[in-house]
C-alpha cells in the first residue's frame, strides 16, 4: 500500500466541461477511497504559471473548482510551482519530512516517461514508485486516454538535467556559510581543504546541509550532491569536471592515477595538475598527503580497519614508488574524525590497537574499549619514516571529534545509517 499518492496535473487544462470535472472527481474519489486510510500524504501537482510553453505550444495550467471538487480538494495538498523540478523537489521535501518511501504516481500516459526521468534524477533507490494512468484532456477536448510516450531522448534528458541544475543553484545555503578547513603545513602550490556540514542545500536532518556523497541507501540524490560539490569547487577554486572520490572498501588498496582504476580503493595518488582527489569521512579519517618537492599528492580514507591495514603508509609508499618522493618531504594532514571519547570496538578488535601501542586504547579491560584511531595513524606514519613535525593531527578544527560536534560535522556513530559525508581534498594548481 502506498504511503504517499501524487496526482500529476502539471500543465493540463482542467476546463469547466462537465465530463472533465466528473473524471477528475472520479479519480480523486478513488484515491481517497483506496488510500486515505493508510496513505500519510495525498498531493496534487500543478503549474503555478497561468500558461507555459512546450514544443512551441501553450498549455493552460488551471485548477478550477466546482461540481463537488472544492470539498474533495481539501483532502489533498496542492503543490503549485513554475517548473517540474521545483514541484517534485518540494514534494520530495514533504515526503522526506514524513519519512515516507512508498509512492504511487497517477500520471497522464503521455507524461509518464517524462515523470520517470525527473524522478530518476531527484530520488534514490530508498524510494519505491508505482505508476497509474490518469485520463486527461489535451487542448480543450474531453478527457480521454492519451498515447504513452516511452522514450526520453538524449536531448530531452539534458534539458531535464539542466532544469534541475538551474533550480538547485537557486536554493539558499542551509545551516550557515560554506566552511573549508585548511592546514598551514601544505604549501600554496596545492589547493586543499576539509569540508564541514554547513553551506550546502541538503535538507534532511542527518544530511544537512553540505553532504558530499550519494548512495542507493541515502535520500540525497546525486543532483543535490553535485550542486554541493559545485559550490565547493567555486569556493576552493578547483575544476569539478576533474574531481575523483575514493571508492571505499575499508582496505589498503591505492589507485595511482594514470594506471587502471581498481573496482575499489581507499587511497589515491597523482602528480597531474588540475586534478582534484578526495577522501570521504564521517568518523573515519580523511587524510591528505602532499610533496611540494616532487609536486605530488594523495588522499586516503582511514577507518579502524584501514588504519590497522596501514592505508596511510600504503599511500606514502605509492608516492615514493611512483613519483620518487622522499619520506622527509611528504607532509600529512589528518582531517576531522571520531575521537576516543566516542568510538568503541569489541575487546577482540581493540586488542590489535593495544598491541600497536597501549596509548591507542582506553579502558582496555572493558567489553568495548575506546579507540584512538588518530593516535594509531600518527604512530604508524612515524614508524614508517614520516617526520613527526610533518604530521598535523591537532590544531584548528582538525582534532574536533565528529560525533561530539553535530553543528560542524557529520557522524555515522552519532547519526546512524543515513549519515552525511564530509571530505578531505587536494589538487596541484595548474
Q: What is the mean pLDDT of each run of 10 residues along the chain (430 residues)?
A: 92 55 77 84 80 40 57 85 96 97 94 96 98 69 55 95 98 97 97 98 97 95 98 98 97 97 97 98 97 98 98 98 98 98 97 98 97 98 98 87 97 94 98
Note the pLDDT of residue 52. 35
Same structural domain, 181 and 313: yes
C-beta of residue 56 within 8 angstroms of C-beta of residue 18: no
Within a domain: residue 261?
Answer: yes
Q: Say if residue 318 is in the same domain as residue 389.
A: yes
Q: Are residues 228 and 121 in the same domain?
A: no
Considering the domain architecture, whether residues 342 and 196 belong to the same structural domain is answered as yes
Judge if 125 and 204 occupy the same domain.
no
Under DSSP, the state recorded for 28 is: H
The answer to whether position 55 is within a domain reads no
Which helix (H) or strand (E) segment holds residue 313: the answer is: helix 311-323
Q: Are 422 and 416 in contact (CB under 8 A)?
A: no
Short-list 398, 356, 362, 363, CA closest to 379: 356
Are 160 and 230 part of one and the same domain? Answer: no
Residues 154 and 224 placed together within one structural domain of the fold: no
Pair (198, 264) in one structural domain: yes
Task: Indicate which CATH number applies to the domain containing 192.
Answer: 3.60.140.10
Q: Are residues 406 and 392 in the same domain?
A: yes
Q: What is the pLDDT of residue 58?
A: 41
Strand partners of residue 337: 401
Output the pLDDT for position 49.
57
Q: Which residues pair with 42 in a beta bridge?
A: 5
Q: What is the pLDDT of residue 74?
A: 82
Q: Are 208 and 228 in contact (CB under 8 A)?
A: no
The CATH number covering residue 164 comes to: 3.40.50
Residue pLDDT, tens place only, 6-38: 999 886 655 445 555 677 778 888 888 888 788
Does a structural domain hold residue 144?
no
One domain for residues 212 and 247? yes
Domain span at residue 29 reads 4-12+19-48+69-138+150-169
3-class secondary structure, 174:
coil
Judge whether 64 lies within some domain. Answer: no
- Residues 115 and 229 grouped into a single domain: no
Task: Supply the pLDDT for residue 57.
Answer: 40
- Residue 257 has, within 13 A of its CA and on its CB side, a CA count of 22
Structural domains of the chain, count: 2
Q: Is residue 56 part of a domain?
A: no
**Do 272 and 408 belong together in one domain?**
yes
Count of residues in the chain: 430
Q: Is residue 54 part of a domain?
A: no
> Is 199 contained in some domain?
yes
Q: Does this model's pTM top 0.85?
A: yes
Helix (H) or strand (E) holding 133: strand 128-134
Amino acid at each position: 500500500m502506498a504511503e504517499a499518492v501524487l496526482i500529476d496535473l502539471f500543465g493540463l487544462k482542467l476546463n469547466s466541461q462537465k465530463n472533465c470535472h466528473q473524471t477528475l472527481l472520479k479519480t480523486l474519489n478513488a484515491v481517497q477511497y483506496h488510500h486515505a486510510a493508510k496513505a500519510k500524504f495525498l498531493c496534487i501537482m500543478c503549474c503555478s504559471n497561468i500558461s507555459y510553453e512546450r514544443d512551441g505550444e501553450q498549455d493552460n495550467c488551471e485548477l478550477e473548482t466546482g461540481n463537488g471538487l472544492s470539498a474533495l480538494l481539501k483532502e489533498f495538498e496542492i503543490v503549485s510551482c513554475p517548473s517540474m523540478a521545483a514541484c517534485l523537489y518540494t514534494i520530495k521535501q514533504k515526503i522526506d519530512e514524513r519519512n515516507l518511501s512508498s509512492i504511487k504516481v497517477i500520471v497522464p500516459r503521455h507524461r509518464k516517461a517524462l515523470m520517470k526521468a525527473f524522478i530518476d534524477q531527484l530520488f534514490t533507490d530508498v524510494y519505491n514508485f508505482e505508476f497509474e494512468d490518469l485520463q486527461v484532456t489535451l487542448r480543450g477536448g474531453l478527457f480521454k486516454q492519451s498515447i504513452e510516450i516511452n522514450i526520453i531522448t538524449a536531448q530531452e534528458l539534458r534539458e531535464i538535467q539542466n532544469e534541475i541544475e538551474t533550480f538547485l543553484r537557486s536554493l539558499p545555503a542551509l545551516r550557515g556559510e560554506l566552511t573549508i578547513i585548511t592546514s598551514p603545513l601544505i604549501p600554496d602550490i596545492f589547493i586543499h581543504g576539509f569540508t564541514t556540514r554547513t553551506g550546502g542545500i541538503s535538507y534532511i536532518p542527518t544530511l544537512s546541509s553540505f553532504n558530499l556523497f550519494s548512495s542507493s541507501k541515502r535520500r540525497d540524490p546525486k543532483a543535490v550532491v553535485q550542486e554541493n560539490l559545485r559550490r565547493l569547487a567555486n569556493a576552493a577554486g578547483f575544476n569539478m569536471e576533474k574531481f575523483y572520490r575514493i571508492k571505499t572498501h575499508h582496505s589498503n588498496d591505492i589507485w595511482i592515477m594514470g594506471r587502471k582504476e581498481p573496482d575499489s580503493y581507499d587511497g589515491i595518488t597523482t602528480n597531474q595538475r588540475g586534478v582534484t582527489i578526495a577522501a570521504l569521512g564521517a568518523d573515519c579519517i580523511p587524510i591528505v598527503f602532499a610533496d611540494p618537492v616532487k609536486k605530488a599528492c594523495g588522499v586516503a580514507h582511514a577507518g579502524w580497519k584501514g588504519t590497522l591495514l596501514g592505508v596511510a603508509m600504503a599511500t606514502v609508499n605509492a608516492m615514493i614508488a611512483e613519483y620518487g618522493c622522499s619520506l622527509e618531504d611528504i607532509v600529512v594532514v589528518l582531517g576531522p574524525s571520531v575521537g576516543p571519547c566516542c568510538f568503541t570496538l569489541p575487546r577482540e578488535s581493540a586488542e590489535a590497537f593495544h598491541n600497536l601501542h597501549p596509548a591507542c586504547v582506553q579502558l582496555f579491560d572493558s567489553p568495548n574499549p575506546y579507540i584512538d584511531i588518530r593516535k594509531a595513524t600518527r604512530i604508524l606514519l612515524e614508524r614508517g619514516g614520516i617526520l613527526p613535525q610533518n604530521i598535523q593531527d591537532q590544531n584548528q578544527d582538525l582534532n574536533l571529534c565528529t560525533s561530539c560536534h553535530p553543528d560542524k560535522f557529520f557522524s555515522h556513530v552519532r547519526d546512524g545509517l543515513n549519515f552525511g559525508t564530509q571530505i578531505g581534498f587536494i589538487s596541484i594548481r595548474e
